[in-house]
Amino acid sequence: MEIQKIAEAILPEMIDTRRYLHMHPEVSFHEKKTYQYILERLSHYPEVTVREGVGGGGLLATIGRAPHPHIAIRADFDGLAIQDQKDVPYKSTVDGVMHACGHDGHTSTLLALLETVNANKDKLKGSISFLFQFAEEVQPGGARAMIADGVLKDIDKIYGQHYWSQYRTGLIKTKPGPIIASPDYFEIKIKGKGGHAARPEDAADPIVIAAELITNLQTIVSRQVAPMDNAVVTIGMVEAGNAFNVIPDTAKLTGTVRTFKQDVKENIRDIFEKEANLTAEKRGASAEIYYQFGYPAVINHEAEAGVIRQAAADLGVEYEEAKPLMIGEDFSYYINERPGSFFFTGSGNHDKLSDFVHHHPKFDLDEEAMLNGLSMFMKILEIEQVIEWKQPSLNN
């Protein structure tokens, strides 16, 4: 298959790019050096139009011979505030920061795709845009700002992918409809009355109230929200007290809610407010609630999800329909504005130690997975009739 030969030819370059980015990660909204690295790479292509500072920190590169069809492909490039614990030559050189989610691979793949498109520019039938997005990991994210700055102007469709360590290398997964949840964030502060541990009757113990509230919140799903509505409530942090024999004045709960439907999201937020206030008040305390709606759920468009399925079939790549994941991803903003779809490219290989979960300090990418990532995007562009492919010389 011509496409796979092209991908194999450029794989060493993709690996080099990915490892450079892996060694030089930057956290969301601070990706200055990464931005400059991508910009410098884009400067090698005189026929590619580059728009800088999109949304404040993104890049848009476009090449084409006709206004339509105009297909966009997006990759993110931010890292995470996690200490890299791998023992590899390309380990992060930045203390406390690493690419623990595969965004280095996403960016490497998109740069390779641009190179292959440029090498086949005489075969272009329309236009292709390459969206290099900052700050996917931290809300409000970079996608919304880039859209507000006009990154989707004149674009007909958009596609994106995520390397996924929990799916084995060689597997492609997507589905029409809901595929990634909306991740909300909450903080609940219980304000009680402190006192001596020996006289709890004189206090309004915020720890006991917090414990009761945790139990109450865990019954929302199944008792007030139907299990079929696919909702998750998780308390990730509990903070209270600093001595074994003192009842503190306050306790704080921090966590996340994951949903797919807007009405379920709003209903859970309302239940949270009522539950927190009532639970605290009946014990002589009060509650302060901060509840932040996260990225919208990723809802794939049916026709474009079908293009991904067809691409995998045409390439002879193993395909499975995905089950919805309760993670978050701001790619949702793009396909709320334009037809498009998002897919997962398996990158988990136990023998290569690349099956650690995302955001783990030993997370790594099976770099062979980038063959499928690049091939899939190339085939999608072919199916969308925006380009044909020939075996290029990748040194031009």
Active-site positions? 78, 136
Peptide bond into 361 cis (omega under 30): no
For residues 154 and 70, the answer to whether their CB atoms sit within 8 Å is yes
Q: Is 290 helix (H, G, I), strand (E, B) or coil?
A: strand
The conformation of residue 357, written as its DSSP 8-state character, comes to P
Dihedral in degrees, nearest 10, Cα atoms 135, 139, 141, 144: -170
What's the rounded Cα separation, in Å, for the pair 207 and 190? 8
What distance in Å separates the CA atoms of residue 22 and residue 100, rounded to the nearest whole number? Answer: 9
Contact (CB, 8 A) for 373 and 111: no
What stretch of H or E contains 279? helix 262-281
User: What Cα–Cα distance (Å) separates residue 48 from each residue in 65, 113, 171, 235?
Assistant: 11, 13, 32, 47
Q: Which residue has the tokens 């909204």?
A: 29
Strands 171-174 and 318-321: parallel
